[in-house]
Amino acid sequence: MKDHIRAFRYLASVLAISAALGLVCFAQQASGVAMLPVAKTAPADPIATLVADWTRARDYTKEYLDAMPEDGLGLKPTPDIRSFAEQMLHLANANFAFASTATGAANPQQGKNLEKMDEYKTKAGLTKIVMESYDFVINSVKGMDLKKMDEQVKFFGRDLTRAAALEKGFEHQTHHRGQTTIYLRLKGVKPPAEKLF
């Protein structure tokens, strides 16, 4: 008997909810309020999306570079890890390499280890080369043929699509910029606010 009562209550609840929703719809139509059509969205342009994301990443990284005082560029939280400048130079080296592999554009820093080059250990030099690395990625992506995004390329001994190489590059720069948050904190600097959009 209890099961019959429970089933009846469930059925009554479902009917009440259906009736309420029907009344809301009827009231909207009767009041003359037009029902909004379902939004139709065009598929995003992958190239434009990549350019926008890398531009945002460049601007965010610039805020980190601007925030660190000149005397903090050599800061290492522990002796066995990269300094702030070396983290940023590693990021820049990788930006050039990932973009070159993914897009086929010639890497202007091919064969150079930016982390070891003294000309980039000043704030001005460091900022210049890091921004150049982002601009290289952005300009290389702009010149890509969308049809080639699924082509396979070799990177670190792995077969990746060109699109996947760019994704890995984006993940890499995010990782190393994120590591430098603690460097800023150790220097007594408040890190820039997150830039998701």
> pLDDT tens digits, the chain, 197 residues: what are they?
555 455 445 434 444 455 444 544 445 555 555 545 545 555 588 999 999 999 999 999 999 999 999 999 999 999 999 999 999 999 999 999 999 999 999 999 999 999 999 999 999 999 999 999 999 999 999 999 999 999 999 988 999 999 999 999 999 999 999 999 999 999 999 999 998 88
Q: Give, in order, the Cα–Cα distances in Å from 50 to each of 21, 54, 61, 104.
A: 42, 6, 16, 16
| End-to-end CA, the chain | 58
- Is residue 80 within 8 Å of residue 119, measured between CB atoms? no
Distance CA 93, CA 90 (A): 5
How do the domains of the chain map onto residue ranges? Answer: 1-40, 46-186
Distance CA 46, CA 132 (A): 22
The CATH class, in words, for 46-186 is: mainly alpha
- Is residue 78 within 8 Å of residue 116, measured between CB atoms? no
Q: Dihedral angle at the C-alpha atoms of 141, 52, 192, 71, nearest 10 degrees?
A: 30
Q: For 109-151, write each residue's pLDDT tens digit.
A: 999 999 999 999 999 999 999 999 999 999 999 999 999 999 9
